[in-house]
Amino acid sequence: DVKVTQSSRYLVKRTGEKVFLECVQDMDHENMFWYRQDPGLGLRLIYFSYDVKMKEKGDIPEGYSVSREKKERFSLILESASTNQTSMYLCASSPDRGGGYTFGSGTRLTVV
Amino acid sequence: ELKVEQNPLFLSMQEGKNYTIYCNYSTTSDRLYWYRQDPGKSLESLFVLLSNGAVKQEGRLMASLDTKARLSTLHITAAVHDLSATYFCAVLNYGGSQGNLIFGKGTKLSVKP
């Protein structure tokens, strides 16, 4: 069964901490994505990557960065966590640029 | 810039009734996805619609796509409680950030006995 695994289901961090959210896929997919989901706002694209060491900004990249050192792993980094980054974070991967995402189970991050 | 609008955002239905969720989008695309999300869970793919006039059905759900009107519908027939969930449409973006999906805000469906 194909899988996208997010390392933490729930995370609580303090304001100002550096936070790493990890995502690993086992499908040899080229493309990986990070979204955040907030009530009433749907899913908003933070960053995505079409290849190893490549990254592109999505619609709301401010306050975030990403790393893709290996094809299967895409990390989202909150350089200095703030309370307005409290959210559900969803990672997805796809084999090509035609959509067809497989989503991870999500990480609910609370910044206090 | 591609924008995707769903309506309604909240839908309370009685079991056995029919209803339709609408998904409008602002710029040309010919690929649209519908997802389902249960509370506390991730998104599960329901349908992919690949061309104008495409229709897909599974169980009590039927999705269609009109690319000329930039409109997709998700029709629910004889709703049952198990269909209670949030439904998202997502449109493939052929613009500056090619190959990513732009999501609507979701329709929270509640089916009551």
* Mean pLDDT of the B81-92 span: 95
Rounded Cα gap, residues A40 and A34, in angstroms: 18
Query: How high does pLDDT run on average in chain B?
Result: 92
Above 70 in pLDDT, residue A27?
A: yes
Contact A33 B100 (CB under 8 A): yes
3-class secondary structure, B81: helix
Above 60 in pLDDT, residue B96?
A: no
pLDDT tens digits for B58-73?
Answer: 999 999 999 999 999 9
Specify the residue for token string 């609408």. B22
Q: Which residue in the set A58, A98, A103 is minimally distant from B42, CB to CB?
A: A103
Q: How confident is the model at residue B29 (pLDDT cuts 50, 70, 90)?
A: confident
DSSP-assigned letter for residue A72: T
Q: Which residue in the set B42, B90, B97 is minimally distant from A90, CB to CB?
A: B42
Q: How confident is the model at residue A1 (pLDDT cuts 50, 70, 90)?
A: low
Specify the residue for token string 């924008």. B3
Q: Which residue in the set B48, B102, B105 is minimally distant from A41, CB to CB?
A: B105
Task: Pick the range with the lowest mean pLDDT from A3-7, A63-67, B47-51, B95-99.
Answer: B95-99
Residues of A in contact with B100 (CB under 8 A): 33, 45, 48, 58
Q: How confident is the model at residue A99 (pLDDT cuts 50, 70, 90)?
A: confident
Give which of A101, A102, A105, A107 to mutate to test B binding, by max B Cβ within 10 Å: A101
Q: CB pairs under 8 A, 24+ apart, for A55-58?
A: A56/B97, A58/A33, A58/A34, A58/B97, A58/B100
Percent of chain B with pLDDT over 70: 96
Above 60 in pLDDT, residue B88?
A: yes
Nearest residue of B to residue A50 by CA position?
Answer: B99
pLDDT of amino acid B59: 95
Helices (H) and strands (E) in chain B, counts: 0, 11
* Mean pLDDT of the B50-64 span: 92
- The dihedral built from the CA positions of residue A27, B51, B76 and B13, taken in this order, carries a sign that is positive
Above 80 in pLDDT, residue A33?
A: yes
- The dihedral built from the CA positions of residue B111, A99, A33 and A62, taken in this order, carries a sign that is negative
Identity of the amino acid at B49? L
